[in-house]
Structure 1
Amino acid sequence: MMREDTMAQPETTPAAPRTQLAGRRFQVRDHYEVGREKVREFARAVQNHHGAHLYEPDARKLGHEGLIAPPTFAAVLGMASTRALLESVLTDYDLTQVLQTDQVFELRRPILAGDRIQSELLIDSVRQFGDNDFIHVDFVLRNQRGEIAQIGSSTIVARRGAEVDANLVDAVDSIFMHVRPSDLDEHSPLLELPAADTELSDPAPEPTLVHTLPDFDKLTAGSALPAGSVQLTRGDLANYAGVSGDPNPIHFSDRAAELVGLPTVVAHGMLTMGLAADYLTSWLGDPTAITKFSVRFSGFVPVAADVATTVDFTGKIKSLNPETRTGTIMLSGISDGRKLFGRALAEVRFA
């Protein structure tokens, strides 16, 4: 059961060699075809309202023929890849005791409707802290032309050999979306690759034009972005779970949330990251102006059964580079008085 939680990432030491995981590389056997309606439904699920995610004429205004996937769309591919790893490679871990702490997206090229994306994964490191293993996984997404669309990473925390409450096991069996366990054979979604060559062969592309709203010459470091807020309901959580492929019952079952120590059902961390991406895009005016987006999760958004929850976002310009007309933006999210991100940074380009 994957969840994003308040666990801070501590100083750690390399995991014992018995894990034999670090350095292993995999390719998802089948490509992912980015559907036009999938882009639209994901945009609605993360409340990304820019017209380029929904209408071709708006995408063409930004120089692209197909709908532009939202900045965190790769979470759909990442969820499937992470589940494949847990089911076929990281099998020593209890799936009910897995948390996500960090997510990084580096957006080199927009992912467009009609693209065919091939995913590669690298288990970069496994580090131990007490009973927990911090597993850092890098990914590369290539389009049908072999160009890198995105690179990035995710850090998950998994407990090895932990005893699990029998009530939790029963609840998961009754609620969790069942999937067939897979081994690394001809039926596995993953193909193991040689570990020798991990270099990225595709250089970063020449920057395309962006159509941002803020006047770069009038921006100053330290200035605040306008505040924004969104609301989340249980329906939003159920919708995101289906669209993203995240079956974790803590996002829709009060019983599952109670058994893992949560006060109520909570929103997906990747959903809150997607909401933050829209907050930033609304200020920028162009989703393709975001070149890197990284978040360290530090809190959760509780969502009651009968009352919508408000999430408030703020931002500040951390730095600006006049030579490249780029900047770094610090983002903050708060819900029910709880800070959602230990760190949230975006690197952006301006017109």
Structure 2
Amino acid sequence: MSRHQTMAQPDTDKVPATPAGQRFRIRDHYEVGREKVREFARAVQNHHAAHHQGDSAHALGYPAIIAPPTFASVIGMTGTRALLDSVLADYDLSQFLQTDQIFESYRPILAGDRIHSEIAIESIRRFGDNDFLVVRFALSNQHDEIAIVGSTTIAARRGAEVDANMTDVIENIMMQGRPAESDTATLPHDDTLIPLDSSPLTEPAHYENIPVHTLPAFDELAPGDQLPGGIFRLTRGDLANYAGVSGDANPIHFSDYAAQLVGLPTVVAHGMLTMGLASGYLTSWLGDPTAIRKFSVRFSGFVPVAADAASTVEFTGRIKSLDPDTRTATIMLGGTSAGRKLFGRALAEVRLR
């Protein structure tokens, strides 16, 4: 959804009781496939060997290849879809905008892991015509160890008038991974979500002191130090590939017609793809993908991608602060494309040897 899109005022009389505070477990686990990890790493252009080769993961102390830092977004797609189809069904899917994303890593996700997910609607706040929904999630592995905790913030309009052409887009342009509405009567009831009580998600009380093997050492850095710049190229093919690998089938990422219907000048890259590129930029500097402890982004711009030319995305980084007790650094990241800022705020907390 474009930030410039205009929508009708919501009919507040029809707004149902807020689902904030509801918590769910995803019924089935997600089995992390080795080739899926490799596909995702290629899709976000993260070429660190530990995402592709077992020997390189072993050298970092892990028995299988390591999923890239934003891989959790693929796992979370199941829960997000289920929420939008049931608990949050009053919102129109064509008028969502992701504004913030946070990943907090307690241990890496590895190929072969069986990931169990919990998801909670943490809050719903109304500002003018917009509802801001904060959805929090926790991913644990087959050993009941929390791997990732995070949150997604979404801006949405409820009760907005939808352009009639958008129905055609959904019917004729979107990837056909879901049954047509006319077929749903013959399908079993969707019980993806198991309701839980309203207690907060379980989160670890502290981080484990897992060794890291970073290229920069803590004692070599000082606040204000600049990271080397990073440059990535994106084509329409990259966007189509990421849509398939990630499961994000929003047509604004591959159809000019759909993009223009919501007020965008052309097809734009996924926000989570740009975050994935940024995490690869960090990983390249760190030399150890497991060193990223927390990564948070507030999206403020988009990467336009023309049909006949690649777009360039540039990243910068600066050491904001250092904590000698934990040997961690807080890094402020910048991202630009075509002179446009991509992040309103992007911070990473990383561990250093």
**So what's the TM-score if we normalise by structure 2?**
0.92
Shift of 1:164: 0.9
Change (3 A) 1:5 1:341: farther
Q: Given residue 188 of structure 1, which amino acid in structure 2 is its aligned partner?
A: D
Match of 1:147 in 2: 145
**So what's the TM-score if we normalise by structure 1?**
0.93
Q: Distance in 1 between matches of 2:133 and 2:328?
A: 32
Match of 2:10 in 1: none
**Contact 2:299-2:343 at 8 Å conserved across structures:** yes
Q: Distance in 2 between matches of 1:332 and 1:344?
A: 7
Match of 1:19 in 2: 17
Q: Given residue 36 of structure 1, which amino acid in structure 2 is its aligned partner?
A: R
Q: Distance in 2 between matches of 1:193 and 1:130?
A: 31
Shift of 1:82: 1.1
Match of 1:110 in 2: 108
Gap runs ≥5 in structure 2: 6-13
Q: Distance in 2 between matches of 1:116 and 1:209?
A: 23
CA deviation digits over 1:328-349, x for unaligned, max 9?
Answer: 0000100000000000000000
**Contact 1:4-1:297 at 8 Å conserved across structures:** no
**Contact 1:134-1:157 at 8 Å conserved across structures:** yes
Match of 2:321 in 1: 319
**Contact 2:323-2:329 at 8 Å conserved across structures:** yes
Gap runs ≥5 in structure 1: 8-15
Shift of 1:203: 3.6
Match of 1:264 in 2: 266
2:190 pairs, out of 184, 187, 190, with 187
Match of 1:347 in 2: 349
**Contact 1:6-1:298 at 8 Å conserved across structures:** no
Shift of 1:314: 0.3
Farther off after superposition, 79-88 or 274-283: 79-88
Question: SS of 2:226's equivalent?
Answer: coil
Shift of 1:228: 0.8
**Contact 1:5-1:101 at 8 Å conserved across structures:** no
Match of 1:200 in 2: 202
Between the aligned residues of both structures, percent identity stands at 66
Q: Distance in 1 between matches of 2:206 and 2:144?
A: 13
**Contact 1:6-1:297 at 8 Å conserved across structures:** no
CA deviation digits over 1:235-260, x for unaligned, max 9?
Answer: 00000000000110000001000101
1:73 pairs, out of 62, 71, 74, with 71
Match of 2:90 in 1: 92
Q: Distance in 2 between matches of 1:199 and 1:312?
A: 36
CA deviation digits over 1:197-252, x for unaligned, max 9?
Answer: 32526443422110001132121101110011000000000000000001100000
Q: Distance in 2 between matches of 1:19 and 1:237?
A: 37
In the TM superposition, 1:280-291 aligns within 5 A as 280-291=282-293
Farther off after superposition, 213-222 or 171-180: 171-180
Match of 2:168 in 1: 170
Shift of 1:5: 5.5
In the TM superposition, 1:39-58 aligns within 5 A as 39-58=37-56
Cα RMSD (Å): 2.0
Q: Distance in 1 between matches of 2:298 and 2:2?
A: 10
